[in-house]
Amino acid sequence: MENIHFQKLTKTFSRLSRFSHLSAIAGWDMFAMMPPGGSQARSEALAEMSVLCHQILTSPDVAQTLAAAEQEDLNDLERANLREMTRQYQQAALLPEALVEAKSLAGSRCEHAWRTQRPNNDWQGFAENLKEVVKYSREEAALRAAHRGGTRYDALLDIYEPDMTSARLDVLFGDLKNWLPDLLTRATEKQAQKTLIAPQGPFALEQQRELGLDAMKLLGFDFNGGRLDVSAHPFCGGVPEDVRITTRYNENELFSALFGVIHETGHARYEQNLPREWLGQPVALARSTALHESQSLFFEMQLGRSAAFLTRLRPHVVARFGDQPAFAQDNFIAWNQRVKPGYIRVDADEVSYPAHVVLRYEIERALIEGEIEVEDIPALWDEKMQAWLGLSTEGDYRNGCMQDIHWTDGGFGYFPSYTLGAMYAAQLFHAARQALPTLDRDIASGEFSALFDWLRQNIWQHGSRFTTAQLVTNATGEDLNPHYFRKHLEQRYL
């Protein structure tokens, strides 16, 4: 039998993938369906699963087999799969089992308590749990940094965004800081000259759900392999064969949930179109979190907030909620392209959104590097919100530093993915437009197949076969270039 070591590894990683599948669905259930009393038992079960996967992945046998497989005669795809297997092994082997378990338990505990602490504005209670999560995240970061060199924060960033460093982020985000505040001011001043009509609620939750399903159908979501539910914080989870989307509804606000669903549908389409013949293998996983966020922001912002798509979406809104002055075409488009700095990241327009991300990046990096402590977060948050958006969050933890789920389970290093994703999305949409000259006309008429075929061919079907830089260069002709993001914002808003 040829390549026996490689074949042996594929069996091990298929097994790990099945355990990961169970964890993903148990995690979705914990966020969407589980009664509060189940929290402790579920946390322990998920921690046990983390330890089991860690034991399988870090066994001496896997290390020896990886080394032996390196010598085998593998084709390009097999070689890419072996590279991703080795990366997963190295990421896991650095961490002692006890730390994996302790971090998982601390994260579950912090997230579960956050669900009631956030509505109650209970920073003190939240901070106690967060300190525990930060402690284990710093331990993890120190172990990873000692192995790979570089800073502790870079070691966590690498989990989500391979090959990205804070030095490169500082250049990209430093450039943003130079031009974005001015663009934000000009866009809001320009829009202030036009009076808009606000949609009149209440908007029944069941009708909102139906509208979200309409949008998912329009965008090609495969309902045979996924579903839509409700959770405290919108997310896309599950596995490629069974993708779970969640959103949250507010009967006084129509578009927050709708565009949340459109955003998560972008994530879901990526997952549903990963290379099926390699499912269960690391090479079939999504390339990186920034690439994943590029797909959700491609759907929500590049496509979803375009005049062409809004023209196509409007009849669905009218069919579900009746006609009203706010839904007149020009007003409907302008309302959904408003630039209005606010407190909540997930509700932010695409011009002010990067401010929310850079703020979190700067705080979490300082936190992991030990330059600040958990107690320092609220004041820093307030200071940066005032500097970027002219808004104060003093004493308002609910709408300030307690609004996100990411830090509750130690997801430090994830936040930069959102703005990197926005940059990638703009670059990809530009390339798609070059390749598909009738794109805007097609979108307005509800014809998305050419666009989705382009994404499938250039991004989705490759999984992790290529590095991020290779994948983006193959699709667009160059590595990440933030120029396209700036150009997109200027064209749409100025």
For the annotated binding site for Zn(2+), the residues are: 263, 267, 293
Catalytic hit among 264, 300, 362, 364 = 264
Of 166, 263, 174, 279, the residue nearest 221 (C-alpha): 263
Tokens encoding 361: 């990046």
Cβ 413 vs Cβ 156: under 8 Å:
yes
Which letter, b or e, does each residue of 118-130 get, where b requires 16 or more Cβ atoms within 10 Å of its Cβ? beebbbeebbebb
- 3-class secondary structure per residue, 128-184: HHHHHHHHHHHHHHHHHHHHHCCCHHHHHHHHHCCCCCHHHHHHHHHHHHHHHHHHH
CB atoms < 10 A from the CB of 190, how many?
12
Parallel, antiparallel or unpaired: strands 242-247 and 235-239: antiparallel
Q: Rounded distance, CA 338 to CA 412, Å?
A: 30
Cβ 149 vs Cβ 423: under 8 Å:
no
Long-range contacts (CB closer than 8 Å, 24 or more residues apart) made by 175-178: 175/482, 176/354, 176/358, 176/419, 176/482, 177/358
Of 92, 72, 87, 82, the residue nearest 9 (C-alpha): 82
H or E segment to which residue 229 belongs: strand 226-230
264 is catalytic: yes
On the CB side of 47, CA atoms within 13 Å amount to 20
Give the N- to C-terminal CA distance of the chain in Å, as an integer.
63
Helices assigned H by DSSP within 372-467 = 377-389, 416-435, 439-444, 449-458
List the binding residues.
263, 267, 293
Largest distance between two CA atoms of the chain? 73
Going from the C-alpha of 488 to that of each of 85, 88, 295, 427, the distances in angstroms are 37, 36, 16, 9
Burial of 36 (C-beta count, 10 Å sphere; 0-12/13-18/19+): exposed
Q: Rounded distance, CA 296 to CA 237, Å?
A: 13
* Phi, psi at 459, each rounded to 5°: -125, -60
Instruction: Name the residues annotated as catalytic.
Output: 264
